[in-house]
Each structure stands twice: as C-alpha cells, then as structure tokens.
Structure 1
Amino acid sequence: MRLALSVFLGGLMGTGLRLGIDQSLPHADTAFPTSTLIANTIGALVLGWLVADLWTRPGLPAWVKAALGTGLLGSFTTFSAVMVSLVALVAAGFSALGWIYLAATLLLGFGAAALGLRLGARLRHRRPPDLPDAGGSL
C-alpha cells in the first residue's frame, strides 16, 4: 500500500510540474513541442542522476524510489506526449519538423541521461562514506 501511495503522490507532483512547463511554453499542434522536449530532457537527466547516485545509497526505502522514479518522473516525462506531438505534426503536413523533433528528443534524452549518470557517479564518489549505525561496532 505504501508503494502505491508513494507512486500516486509522486505522480501528482510530476503532473503539476509538467503542467507548469506546458503552460509556460504553450504550442499549437503544428508547432515545435518545446515544452515536451524540455520536460523529457530534464527528466532523463534527473533519472540518470538518481540511478547513479541516490539509488546506490544503502538503506534507501523502496517507497522513495517508487515515489521519485515511477511517480514523479514517470508523470513528468511521457513518451505518449512525444508520440502525440509527432503524429500531430506529420498529420498536419509538417513531416520534416516531426522527424527533427523525434531526432532532438532521442539525442537530447540519451545525452541528458548519460550526463545524469556521470554526474550521479561523480557525486556518489564525493559523498562521505556511510557511518555505522549507533548499535554497530567500529
């Protein structure tokens, strides 16, 4: 039950953040979907960092991973929005713009994820070692 609630609450936050980006950068169906590209690129960067740094921390509860990964980032980034925008552009006769958008999405998404992984790994190595708990021996 805790995992489901975590995903739900994370999803609420991610949806709210995504709505904020969409309202800040509105676009017509026949225009370049900048807001979707930005949200998905930011999400790929953050997920890369989470996987390389936060997820490696001992004792991190599963509900935190579920809330941040599946909930927050799962609702903030959406593959379906990419496809809806691509189909809308192609259907409106803007095929070249659609393919440019798809290429930009893939390149920026993979690049951001790789950068997030590198940053997370670097931060993980700078983090002080975990101290033993109060009941453990030194």
Structure 2
Amino acid sequence: MRIYLAVALGGLVGTGLRLAWDLTLPHADDEFPLSTLIVNLVGALLLGWLVGGLWTWPKIPSWIRAGVGSGMLGSFTTMSAVMAALALLTSAGEAWLAALYLAVSVVGGLGLAAVGLRVGSLIAHRPMPDSITDAGQTL
C-alpha cells in the first residue's frame, strides 16, 4: 500500500513541476516545444543518476524508488507530450522542426540518461553496470 501512495504523491509533485515548466516556457503549436524538451532531458538525466547511483544503495526503500521514479519522474516526463508536440508541429507544416525535435529528444535523452548513470555510479563509488539485471525492480 505504501508503494501505491508514494507513486500517487510522486505523480502529484511531478505533474505540478511539469505544469510549472509549461507555464514558464509556453509555446504555440507551430513553435519548438522547448519546455517539453527540457523536461524530458532533465528527467532522463535525473532518472539515470538515480538508477546508477542512489538506488544502488541497499538502504533506499522500494517505496521511495517507486514514488520518485515511476511517480514523480514518470509524470514529469511523458512520451505522450513528445508525441503531441510532434503531431502539432507536423500538422502546422513544420515537419523539419518536428524532425529536429524528435532527434534532439531521443539522442539527448539517451545521452543524458547515460551521463546520469555514469555520475550516479561514480557518486555511489561503484563501477557502472554493463547491464541492469533487476528487471526494473529499482523503478
């Protein structure tokens, strides 16, 4: 029950943070969705850092990992927002901007997730794992 509550509360926090970014950096449908890009890149970095570092510590309870990972960061970063931005840009005749946005989102997200994993591993004083073998249990 604690895990469900942690995910729900984390989701509230993440959604609020996401809304704050969208209100801080608004954009029209045919403009580059900078707020969504920033949110997703920062989220990839943070989740990589957590998975590679803090969550390797045995004393971090699973409900905290679930609340912060799936709850807060899951609601802060959303694939649906990326897809909506791509559809809006394309329908507004900005296919080149949509392609750029998708490329930066994917390459930047993967790159920052890798940086987060590396930094997290260094902070935890452990070598970076070659693979994650816990079948998603840290999320």
- TM-score of the superposed pair, with normalisation by structure 1: 0.89
| Residue 10 of structure 2: aligned partner | 10
SS of residue in 2 equivalent to 1:110? helix
Larger radius of gyration: 1
Give the number of equivalent residue pairs.
126
SS of residue in 2 equivalent to 1:125? coil
Q: Distance in 2 between matches of 1:83 and 1:42?
A: 18
Instruction: Extract unaligned runs of 5+ from structure 2.
Output: 127-139
Partner amino acid, structure 2, of 1:59: K
SS of residue in 2 equivalent to 1:60? coil
| Deviation sequence 1:28-87 (CA, Å, 0-9, x none) | 011000000000000000000000111111132110011000000000000000000001
| Residue 131 of structure 1: aligned partner | none
Runs of 4+, deviation exceeding 3 Å: none
Q: Distance in 1 between matches of 2:21 and 2:79?
A: 16
Partner amino acid, structure 2, of 1:72: M
What is the deviation of 1:107? 1.2
Instruction: Extract unaligned runs of 5+ from structure 1.
Output: 127-138
| Residue 103 of structure 1: aligned partner | 103
RMSD: 1.0
- TM-score of the superposed pair, with normalisation by structure 2: 0.88
Partner amino acid, structure 1, of 2:115: L
